[in-house]
Structure 1
Amino acid sequence: MPARRKKKVAPQTIIGEGGVALIAQRVNEMGFLYHDRRVDHGIDGEIELVGPGGEALNQVVMVQSKASNRAHAYETDDGFQWTADPADLDYWLSGNAPVIVVLSRPKTKEAWWFDVRAEFGDPRRRAERTVKINKNTQAFDASAASEIFRLGSPRDSGLFLASPPKKERLTSNLLTIDSWPEMLSIAPATVDSYKEAWEKVKAVEGHLADGWILHDGMLISFGDLRTDPLRQLCDGGIERLDSSEWALSDDEDTTNRFANLLRSTLLTDRFRDLQWHPSRDHLHFRPTRNLRARKEGRGQGRRGRTVFGPHFSKTDKTRVIYYHHAALKPRFRRLGDAWYCQLGIDYCFTHDGRNESSFADGLLAGIKRLDRHPAVHGWTHMWERYLQGDLLTANTMLTFGSLLTFEVDRGIDDNWWGPAPTQASADDDALIRPDPKLEQHLQDAEVDHDDLLALLDEPLVPPESAPARRRPSTRRR
């Protein structure tokens, strides 16, 4: 009598069940509930969201599991591609409930996910049916809880996930002002406009004017209005005031005038290697005499950053395409009784070190797409050290301290951030992908992605690890 044939379980069934079990485990680690569907028409289960305090919210996210122990298409250590079935895609997009797909590898306990509507919301992407998975940022584990919560919760629900309970020291872009002159001078002006005033100042050969402003027919300055070239702008009647009367005034107009005076003083103080760009509204480094690269911020343990430098043609290494200049948009603000210089990072591009490049707008747009936190952090600390200065003279009107820092009891999970520019390509990150017009503009300038990244990727040692600076005695504020 022939032996009876026994029923067998297909390997894919084991893999499929393993994928669902892995999803249930990860959802539980997120603090949510997973409900398996007994009848599967393209949705394997539901994630029931649970509020931060354990509240049952009656809000769900639909889940489709796709499990396989094989390698995915174009898989590397950082990612792979996956293509959806047309029927599945039509089904997922036909309703109004949020749907995620979890791509798992049960054998190695790995899982990644994506939001169907976010990936295939527009007709072109829907027709392609292919999604790129970033293994570093799309892991389906506890780090994905906040994104899945936001996906399933109405925007007006008023609920949120608390930030992780960890202490962090935050550094702002507010640079403290340690001191300014004790007195300021005011006198009736003999000029009606800044243009007329500058013509008179430039006519006084060999003299540099201290910072000054015009307001309601009056000339105001921290400098001496009795000496050239400022005396050319006023007609006697000089009044001296304690600068703290303006610095700590409750009158908004007076406070704004004092902020303008601080900015004008910064533009004309000891920083003679900086110049003002009126149309860009920023300060930038002047070119070096020989047009060679210049670095600032170097020292023990610090590489410094290139604040001015040439960029050469890819085809002709002797031909300069453009020069870059580190730039700063300073804004003076008062918080309480303290004054700060807000450091706004910017860039300037010229074709000869002096005149703006015809590609300046494209270069600026290109670099702003790449200018993430590490680059802004590095440039901000460079400007902090530069404005603090190594050699402060008796004529220095403004002295600067350190960036304002403070500690918080809640931090931001680093996994919530996108990849840094050096870890992402223009194809992988929509935030840094140039539009066609910009891409063509940069190609005309013989500029590529790596060339712009070179301006940003110059890491500096944090200032707290640098040797202490010698500071002049602080004058009374």
Structure 2
Amino acid sequence: MALIAKRVGEMGYLFHPRRVDHGIDGHIDLVDPSSSELLNLTLLVQSKASTLPFPDETDQGFRYTCDQRDLDLWLGGNAPVILVLSHPDNDHAWWVDVRDAFSSPAARAARVVYVDKRTQVFDTAAAAGLRAVALPRDTGLYLPAAPIQETLTTNLLEVADWPASLHLARTNARDYPEAGKRLQSSGIRAGGWMLRDGFVISFRDLTEAPLNALCDSDVESHATAEWAESSDLDTQHRFMDLLTRTVQDAHPELRWHKERRHLHFLASQDLRPRLAGKGHGNRGRTVFAPHYSKSDPGRVSYYHHAALRLRFRRLAGQWFAQLEPDYCFTSDGSAESRIADSLLAGIKRLDRHPAVAGWTRMWANHLRGGDDLFSPDRIVAFGDLATVTVDRGIDDRWWGPAPAEATIEDERDLQPTASVDASLIAAGVDADELTLLLTGEDRPPQRPGRASQRSRRPQGGKR
């Protein structure tokens, strides 16, 4: 009883033991976590404690057989009853919603309840579950969010600076392929420009080579602020496009995938793993690496490339780069793998918040660049990931176990489809390595022996 009182107090509720036990040992008064006021909701409690293991007890759970008289009493009234089973000697306790456990005639006849020791722990995590049990079946109750201040980190990377002016000139180039042919004659790599409505536009000086080859009129210069602060949607879209192309040009290690609509890291020269996104307190993440066949360790099954869907947005007058991490899979470091869709489907089923957050930080660090003498200057500079402080939040202690039907549905959603499974198995893919991509291990498992000597750089393609 002392253990129950302690746990109920930690939940923020009130426990009242009864002096005389006639099948009910006490009751719980529920309290609003926001106002600390009583809710006029009550739960009856019956305690069953033992210093010995319960029947069939394992690390996962146990079975308990209820007395018929107790069961008749618990189910015969209008107040909800919970059964608390405990080992007070080692401070362990679990709980059962009696009405739910014995909702069918068959369950009542058997009088046996199975307790899952992982999901039915009687501690602060059970508070929300107790509240749900106490609510009347024919009514609802609104409880405001707890007054907890939280700082939320977004996937919006602040655009900290850009050139004061942008430049434009008329051009006769009808499209990007035609403009590209003009630039090829100069022999100088040129990017960070765009075509729109018969104009070539760039932050770079259009009077200098090689971009001057695209100009068929005098160059005009405009204050960047005119575009950045414009309320005209077309002007905003032009500015978004210019920012995207400028950032892409500043990172020659990234390649645009036209079909997937994302940027991804190019393969390393020797096809060995490469790291990127180094920041304060972390070594970065593996952004390119080979993965070897599970059935044939001497054969590369696929290469993974960290990818990013990048979009610029203006919110409350401030420009941000919206970062959406993605994945790219190739067969030789350049050509897309024939099992790319299956690999993407497999990894997306495993993708969860920690993985997305980790990859978002990696991309933020990479686009921001280092602050040392060896880091190149960027035309467009970035700040930090935007944060939002809120005065309402969710106290993790109030989360209860998910309903059984929801848990089953969630687990079903995590299972790959048969077609995805079959294609990955046939290709010799090791599912554990997909998990490594999500967790951001510094170096995925490598093929033993002379893996790098037998992996040759593919011929042709953009490197």
TM over 0.5: same fold?
yes
- Which residue identity is paired with 1:370? L
Give runs of aligned pairs for residues 37-116 of structure 1, distance below 5 A: 47-51=28-32, 52-59=34-41, 67-71=49-53, 75-76=58-59, 80-83=60-63, 102-113=84-95
User: How far 1:252 sits from its partner (Å)?
Assistant: 3.4
Cα 1:104–1:214 change in 2 (3 A) is farther
- Could you say what secondary structure the match of 2:338 adopts? coil
Q: Greater CA deviation, 281-290 or 99-108?
A: 99-108
Task: Name the CA shift for 1:299/1:260 in 2 (closer, same or farther; >3 Å).
Answer: closer
Identity %: 48
Deviation of the 1:241 alpha carbon: 0.8
Q: 1:162 aligns with which of 140, 146, 149?
A: 146
**1:412, distance to aligned residue in structure 2 (A):** 5.2
Deviates more, 1:255-264 or 1:373-382: 373-382
Q: Cα offset for 1:175?
A: 2.0
Structure with the greater relative contact order (CA < 8 A, sep ≥ 6): 1 or 2? 2
Structure 2 vs 1, CA of residues 222 and 61 (structure 1 numbering), >3 Å: closer, same or farther?
farther
d(CA) in 2 for partners of 1:93, 1:230: 83
- The aligned residue for residue 212 of structure 1 is 193
What aligned pairs does 1:49-448 form with structure 2 within 5 A after superposition?
49-51=30-32, 52-59=34-41, 67-71=49-53, 75-76=58-59, 80-83=60-63, 102-113=84-95, 132-134=116-118, 139-149=121-131, 157-164=141-148, 169-194=151-176, 196-197=177-178, 199-200=180-181, 203-204=184-185, 206-227=187-208, 230-231=211-212, 233-269=214-250, 271-298=251-278, 302-390=282-370, 391-393=374-376, 396-405=378-387, 413=395, 430=411, 433-437=414-418, 438-448=420-430
Alignment partner, residue 125 of structure 1:
none
Supply the RMSD in Å over aligned alpha carbons. 4.6
Instruction: Give the 3-state SS of the residue equivalent to 1:257 in structure 2.
Output: helix
Give CA deviations for 1:59-101 in whole Å, capped at 9, x if unaligned.
456767664444465734xxx1345779999x99999998866
Deviation at 1:184, TM superposition (A): 1.3
Question: 1:342-387: per-residue Cα shift (whole Å, max 9, x none)?
Answer: 2222221222211222332332233334333433333233222222
* C-alpha deviation, 1:197, in angstroms: 4.8
Cα distance in 1 for partners of 2:307, 2:300 equals: 20
Structure 2 CA distance for partners of 1:302 and 1:64, relative to 1, 3 Å: same
Distance in 2 between residues matched to 1:387 and 1:161, nearest whole Å: 36
CA separation in 2, counterparts of 1:371 and 1:55?
A: 40
CA contact (8 A) 1:74 1:81 kept: yes
3-state SS of 1:342 partner? strand
Q: Is the 8 A contact 2:183 2:213 kept in 1?
A: no
* Contact in 2 for aligned 1:201/1:229 (Cα 8 Å): no
CA displacement at 1:113 relative to structure 2: 4.2
Q: Does 1:452 align with 2:434?
A: yes
Q: Does structure 2 retain, via aligned residues, the 8 Å contact 1:210–1:223? A: no
Question: Matched residues in 1 for 2:211 and 2:96: separation?
Answer: 65
TM-aligned CA distance change 1:407 to 1:55, over 3 Å: closer
Could you give the per-residue CA deviations for residues 92-116 of structure 1, whole angstroms, max 9, x where no partner exists? 9999998866442233231234779
Match of 1:402, SS? Answer: strand
Name the amino acid aligned to 1:345: P
Distance of 2:27 and 2:209 partners within structure 1: 79
* Deviation at residue 289 of structure 1 after TM alignment: 1.7
The Cα of 1:288 is off from its aligned counterpart by 1.0
Task: Assess, with a 3 A threshold, how the Cα gap between structure 1 residues 431 and 189 changes in structure 2: closer, same or farther.
Answer: farther
Specify the code of the residue in structure 1 equivalent to 2:241. Answer: N
Partner letter of residue 344 of structure 1?
E
Per-residue Cα deviation, 1:395-451 (whole angstroms, up to 9, x for no partner): x321222323465666654557899xxxxxx99983883244244444334344532
Q: Please say which of residues 149-158 and 222-231 is displaced more in the overlay.
A: 149-158
Q: Which runs of 5+ in 2 are unaligned?
A: 104-111, 402-406, 443-463
Q: For 2:57 and 2:192, how far apart are their aligned partners in 1?
A: 61
Residue 153 of structure 1 deviates from its aligned partner by 5.4
Aligned-partner SS, 1:364: helix
The aligned counterpart of 1:12 is none
Over 3 Å counting, the alpha-carbon distance change for 1:36 and 1:414 in structure 2 is closer
- TM-score w.r.t. the length of structure 2 is 0.72
- Give me the whole-angstrom Cα distance separating, in 2, the residues matched to 1:117 and 1:352: 60
Are the equivalent residues in 1 in contact too, given 2:128–2:399 (CA < 8 A)? no
Q: For residues 120 and 245 of structure 1, do their structure 2 counterparts lie closer, same or farther at Cα, with a shift above 3 Å needed?
A: farther
Q: CA deviation at 1:247?
A: 1.0
Structure 1 residue 225, shift from structure 2 partner? 3.4
Q: CA deviation at 1:245?
A: 0.9
| Distance of 1:213 and 1:84 partners within structure 2 | 72
Structure 1 letter corresponding to 2:58: E
Equivalent pairs counted in the alignment come to: 419
Output one character per residue of 1:116-137: Cα deviation in whole Å (capped at 9) or x when no partner. Answer: 999999xxxxxx9866442xx7
| Alpha-carbon distance in 1 for matches of 2:263, 2:324 | 10
Q: 1:398 to 1:428 in 2, by over 3 A?
A: same
- The letter of the residue matching 1:162 is A
Q: 2:287 aligns to what SS in structure 1?
A: strand
8 A Cα contact 2:287 2:304, kept in partner: yes
Counterpart code for 1:308: F
